[in-house]
Amino acid sequence: MKAVKDRITPSREFCVYTSCYCEENVWKLCEFVQTARTAPLEQLFVVFISNDNRMVPLWKQKSGHADHPVIWDYHVILLHVDPQSEVLVYDLDTELSFPCNLRLYGSQALRSDHHIKPEYHRKLRVIPAESFLLNFASDRTHMKNPDGSWKKPPPSYPPLKTTGCQMNLDDFISMSPAVGWGTVFSLNQFLQKYLGCSSTTSSSSSSAQS
C-alpha cells in the first residue's frame, strides 16, 4: 500500500536501511516494490553515481554540513519514471523529501558540474530495477578493514548474491560503458534524458570547485 500519494515504498522510517550500504538499501526498495506491487517494476531504475576517480560530490546528504557537499566514492539512488507523473528520486541518505521530484533533487543534491574540477564530474549508471535484482551481488568485503573488522556495521540480513556470483559490486560502480549492466550517462546527459534539461544550478563553496 502507498503511505502517501505517489510513494511506492514505506515511509523513510519504515524502510530497510543501513548507513553506508546505499546499494543494498536500494536493492531492498526494489524488492519491496516487486513484492508489494506498488508500481510496475519496469518503471524503476537504479542509479549508481560515481566516476573514474571514485570522488563525487553530493549536496543535501544527512552526513554533510551546512551547504557543503559530501564527497562519496559512489552513491546509489532509486528512480521512479511514471509516464503519467513527474520523475521521483528515492534516496534514504538525503535531507530532501522521500521521495523527491528529480527536478528538485537535481538542483539541490546533484547541482552542476560546470563549476567543479573535472576530476569530480559525475557519471551515472542507470540500470533497470529487474536487472539489478537479478544480477547484483555483494559479499561486503569492500566494507572490511585489513584486519577483518568492519568499517561500518553491516546489515543484519545475509549478503545479497546470485546463483552464480557472490561479489560484483565493482561492475556496478564502474563507469566504463563496456562493463556491467545498464547505461552510463554524464550528468547533463542524465538530466536531458529524464528532465529534458541540462544542469544549470549555481555553484557552492567546496574543495571540489575549480
| Calpha distance 192→156 (Å, rounded) | 38
Q: How many other C-beta atoms lie within 10 A of the C-beta of residue 134?
A: 11
Q: Please choose, from the candidates 153, 170, 149, 140, the residue with its C-alpha nearest in 3D space to the C-alpha of residue 18.
A: 153
Beta strand 88-90 with 100-101 is: antiparallel
Q: In which residue are the cell numbers 557543503 written?
A: 68
Q: Which of 22, 93, 100, 121 is catalytic?
A: 22
Q: How many other C-beta atoms lie within 10 A of the C-beta of residue 184?
A: 19
Q: Which of 30, 80, 91, 100 is catalytic?
A: 91
C-alpha cell at 7: 510513494
Q: Which of 75, 80, 100, 113 is catalytic?
A: 75
Is 73 a residue of the active site? no
Is 80 a residue of the active site? no
> What is the DSSP code (8-state) at residue 77?
E
Is 75 a residue of the active site? yes
Can you list the positions of beta strands (E) in 42-189? 44-50, 56-58, 70-72, 75-80, 88-90, 100-101, 123-128, 183-186
Annotated active-site positions, please?
22, 75, 91
